[in-house]
Structure 1
């Protein structure tokens, strides 16, 4: 049994046709057919049922094909390990980001990584903090960009930047022409919040704890005070339904006709954004490269941390 034979049976199972499978494997059809027949004889069972117009996989053959795919994947992983030995940046880096960071950091970050480290493609996952931590622990992610605080999961953590918060109000709001607004003044406003599960919701409630009454178990109109994303909430604010608090990176560079973004008066609330990874993850150079790429982004309203 060889890896080549396993690749052939996976190709036939996928294509359901010996000719197309041979073409996909860049060999002649007789070569592929002979190799598969040899494997079937070695295993003493039929992997494929050969009909007049169609190839089907036998029940046992289906299990063998799935195992063959797993073996091929593991063999490719061995090659990736060897490749990384020559170049630690070579190979995919599986990166997770929370919802309130990903839309504003990723466009510049992905472009920067492609330009600086083309041998290190980013495989991206956007999710809640809790889910990203689970994926890190399970080895489904290599690293994640998160906002502190979060439960200690035995991770290595490197600070990236501290990010100021701003207040978003409708263009017709009395605050719209102000140079700054205090957290105390927000107590009289209708606050629009992200839904439960978003860590940024918790950050806003630290600034304005009185708005904790708008919780996920509230009834009636109060549920409308929660949104699924910052961009959704911004549209609600622009429609005059209330005000909200946003992180600095989400503030657009161009003026928006129906929205105004007002700084907080001192002390300005902030959040700390960090890069976290498993302590057993050995591609330190890849982590350093990712940090450099993040620092290469224009982090308006944030203070870079070393």
Structure 2
């Protein structure tokens, strides 16, 4: 039994497909399949059920994969302990970040990290919350910047900041002249939303629950559209297709000729942005350095938080 074989079964368990698992491990599918077959023969158990379209784990296979994940993580911890003896910040930090935070935080965060800890380059992964949580669990990421709430996965959490929401409207829209907008005022508007999978979509639906029904004949709703990114939706708003809700950091410093960002009336809806990592992750100094790099960012309009 080798660490490589354990990494292979963890990859197959995650991808549910031998071909995709082989690609993720940078080996050919026959190489991966032979190694897993060898491990099954050594253990004298069947780890996976091979279906025509998807691979599933046997009940015993699930327990083996969970243990394999722990072994891989512990092996990595040994390497980290050795590194910490030389330089606690030496080596890359694998950071995940959700789509609605990355474009607005990363440019300054990466700059700060390079200046403060040049020996600790950030390896970045932008994705949905669910995917990032899975990558944290399997050890593919060291930490992630997420927006609460998300499922309790037993992770260690450090609050970073609370970010207020704004309403983005066309410059010619009557609401553009308002000093502040209530969530009730949005009920009669055409709301543009991010697609399913974006946690910020859920945040918007908490502010405007009427839009969760997506029924064209629902009382107080005209219609809803979906976009793939906040920037795409902003362009749709600028063209007059509707309005949307955006996080404060996504508001550009330069005034857009066709867009206006209007604050909410109190109580202002917000989201809490946190840094999450596995409790077994041993590079505490790296987590602290990353938090310091975040706090060194300008972060206009947000409320900074600390433990």
Question: Structure 1 residue 297 and structure 2 residue 297: aligned?
Answer: yes
The answer on whether the counterparts of 1:171 and 1:258 sit within 8 Å (CA) in structure 2 is yes
Partners of 1:111 and 1:93 in 2: how far apart?
A: 15
CA drift at 1:177:
1.8
The answer on whether the counterparts of 2:190 and 2:223 sit within 8 Å (CA) in structure 1 is no
CA drift at 1:212:
0.8
1:145-188 deviation per Cα after TM superposition (whole angstroms, max 9, x unaligned): 00001001110001000000000000110011221111110111
Partners of 1:287 and 1:83 in 2: how far apart?
A: 15
1:236-280 deviation per Cα after TM superposition (whole angstroms, max 9, x unaligned): 000000000000000011100110000001110000000000000
Aligned residue in 1 for 2:184: 184
* Structure 1: tracts of 5 or more residues without a match: 1-58, 64-74, 216-221
Normalised by the length of structure 2, the TM-score is 0.71
The DSSP-based 3-state class of the residue aligned with 1:279 is coil
Partners of 1:274 and 1:121 in 2: how far apart?
A: 20
Aligned residue in 2 for 1:285: 285
CA drift at 1:224:
6.8
Question: Structure 1 residue 227 and structure 2 residue 227: aligned?
Answer: yes
CA drift at 1:281:
0.1
Aligned residue in 2 for 1:54: none
The answer on whether the counterparts of 2:193 and 2:224 sit within 8 Å (CA) in structure 1 is no
Partners of 1:206 and 1:263 in 2: how far apart?
A: 17
Say what the alpha-carbon RMSD is for the aligned residues.
2.3
Question: Structure 1 residue 199 and structure 2 residue 196: aligned?
Answer: no
The answer on whether the counterparts of 2:91 and 2:120 sit within 8 Å (CA) in structure 1 is yes
Question: Structure 1 residue 256 and structure 2 residue 229: aligned?
Answer: no
Aligned residue in 1 for 2:121: 121
CA drift at 1:214:
2.9
Partners of 1:296 and 1:94 in 2: how far apart?
A: 20
Partners of 2:145 and 2:287 in 1: how far apart?
A: 11
Aligned residue in 1 for 2:92: 92
The DSSP-based 3-state class of the residue aligned with 2:191 is coil
Runs of 4+ in structure 1 deviating by more than 2 angstroms, as ranges, are 75-84
The DSSP-based 3-state class of the residue aligned with 1:158 is strand
CA drift at 1:78:
7.5
Structure exhibiting the larger radius of gyration computed from Cα positions = 1
The answer on whether the counterparts of 2:192 and 2:227 sit within 8 Å (CA) in structure 1 is yes
* Structure 2: tracts of 5 or more residues without a match: 1-29, 35-74, 216-221
Aligned residue in 2 for 1:154: 154
The answer on whether the counterparts of 2:169 and 2:260 sit within 8 Å (CA) in structure 1 is yes
CA drift at 1:79:
6.9
The answer on whether the counterparts of 2:77 and 2:281 sit within 8 Å (CA) in structure 1 is no
Partners of 1:263 and 1:103 in 2: how far apart?
A: 21
1:117-161 deviation per Cα after TM superposition (whole angstroms, max 9, x unaligned): 000000000000000000000000000000001001110001000
> How many residue pairs end up in the alignment?
230
Partners of 2:247 and 2:145 in 1: how far apart?
A: 15
